[in-house]
Amino acid sequence: MENANHNDVKTKISKKKYSNSSSCGGGAVYGLGIIGALFYFLSTASTFWIGVLGVLKAIVWPAIFVYEIFKYLQI
């Protein structure tokens, strides 16, 4: 009996259609944003440590951006 239930579950899972066609769109935009921010911050850095700070800023700039938008909108 348990084996029959296991086979039913396997056939139900295998019949499901999964679509991942748009699951990576946000990741691509975020990645391009990081690359652009890295280019900007590193090209304007005058010292090594300012460059290191620029790399850190490039990684967290979306969070800072959302925070500033919420602050502006007073949310």
Res 21: pLDDT? 57
The answer to the question of residue 17 being in a domain is no
The answer to the question of residue 62 being in a domain is yes
Structural domain count, the chain: 1
The answer to the question of residue 72 being in a domain is yes
Res 27: pLDDT? 80
Res 62: pLDDT? 85
Nearest Cα to Cα of residue 56 among 71, 24, 34, 74: 34
The answer to the question of residue 20 being in a domain is no
On whether the pTM is more than 0.85, the answer is no
User: What is the mean pLDDT, run by run of 10 residues, along the chain of 75 residues?
Assistant: 56 58 70 90 94 93 89 90
Instruction: Provide the residue range defining the domain that includes 65.
Output: 47-75
The answer to the question of residue 2 being in a domain is no
Interacting residues of 58 by C-beta distance below 8 A, sequence separation 6+: 34, 37, 38, 40, 41
Cβ distance 57 to 36 under 8 Å?
Answer: no
The answer to the question of residue 33 being in a domain is no
Res 26: pLDDT? 73
The answer to the question of residue 57 being in a domain is yes
